[in-house]
Amino acid sequence: AQSVTQLDSQVPVFEEAPVELRCNYSSSVSVYLFWYVQYPNQGLQLLLKYLSGSTLVKGINGFEAEFNKSQTSFHLRKPSVHISDTAEYFCAVSVYSSASKIIFGSGTRLSIRP
């Protein structure tokens, strides 16, 4: 079975500071990896995904994530955050052979201080 761990439930940062949201996964088979963002009272929106190839993935809104197979991690980073980045961020995995399930972590709430 697969699982996703987001170690930080909340991350407060100052505006224009860098941020890293941590994600670790567990799987005995190869997986695809995703980061989704959920703004208040809205649905989930895909930020970026790793399928194969380069381990550094760039997404929307200036976010990027790096796949580290040996550490089973897929941390999300942004060099300079804005107030508009305030949201809940979810890391997720799906298995190559499964068309159906995306398994989500419990989420990290990013709060930006002016």
Partner 1 sequence: GAGVSQSPRYKVAKRGQDVALRCDPISGHVSLFWYQQALGQGPEFLTYFQNEAQLDKSGLPSDRFFAERPEGSVSTLKIQRTQQEDSAVYLCASSLVGRSSGNTIYFGEGSWLTVV
Exposure of 49 by Cβ count < 10 A (0-12 exposed, 13-18 middle, 19+ buried)?
Answer: middle
Regarding 107 and contact with partner 1 (CB under 8 A), the answer is yes
Selection from 75, 41, 76, 73 nearest residue 61 by Cα = 76
Binding span for partner 1 by CB under 8 A among 15-23, 65-73, 74-82, 90-98: 90-98
- Which residues contact residue 110 at a Cβ distance below 8 angstroms, ignoring those fewer than 6 apart? 11, 13, 19, 21, 81, 85, 86, 87, 88, 89
Q: Using CB under 8 A, which of 17, 79, 96, 113 touches partner 1? A: 96
* Residue 81 or 103 with smaller CB distance to partner 1: 103
Judged by CB under 8 A, the chain residues 41 through 70 that form the site for partner 1 are: 41-46, 49, 51
CB atoms within 10 A of CB 113: 11
Regarding 1 and contact with partner 1 (CB under 8 A), the answer is no
Q: How many residues bind partner 1 (CB under 8 A)?
A: 27
Tokens 């197979």 correspond to what residue? 69
Least distance in angstroms from the C-beta of 33 to partner 1: 10
Binding site for partner 1 (CB under 8 A): 4, 32, 36, 41-46, 49, 51, 90, 92, 94-107
